[in-house]
Amino acid sequence: MRTKVDARLWQEIAHYRLRFSCEDCAQFVPELGTCSAGYPNAEHRRREQPSEIVFCKEFELT
């Protein structure tokens, strides 16, 4: 799912400490930078304030 990001969403992300990127997911393999479930993750990786966030259906908070 793709979600456009605006200033208000960035404020809410900071205030509530929301997590949504691969690096925060239980499926992420840091040594390889990949998803243990085999999903492509380039669009889900952490980036500096992107204009949109792409959510993964397999995201599981660690």
Beta bridge mates, 50: none
Report the predicted TM-score, pTM, of the whole model to 2 decimal places: 0.80
Give the pLDDT score at 39: 93
Residue with tokens 């925060």: 24
Residue 61 is predicted with a pLDDT of 86
Token pair for 4: 């456009």
The per-residue pLDDT string of the chain (62 residues; one tens digit each, 9 = 90 and over) reads: 899 999 999 999 999 999 989 999 999 999 999 999 999 999 999 888 788 999 898 899 87
Q: What distance in Å separates the CA atoms of residue 61 and residue 37, rounded to the nearest whole number? A: 14
Nearest-5° angle of CA 3, CA 7, CA 20? 45
Listed by start position, the domains of the chain span 2-54
Instruction: Classify the phi-psi angles of 38: left when phi > 0, otherwise alpha if psi is within -120 to 50, otherwise beta.
Output: left
Per-residue confidence (pLDDT) for residue 6, from 0 to 100: 93
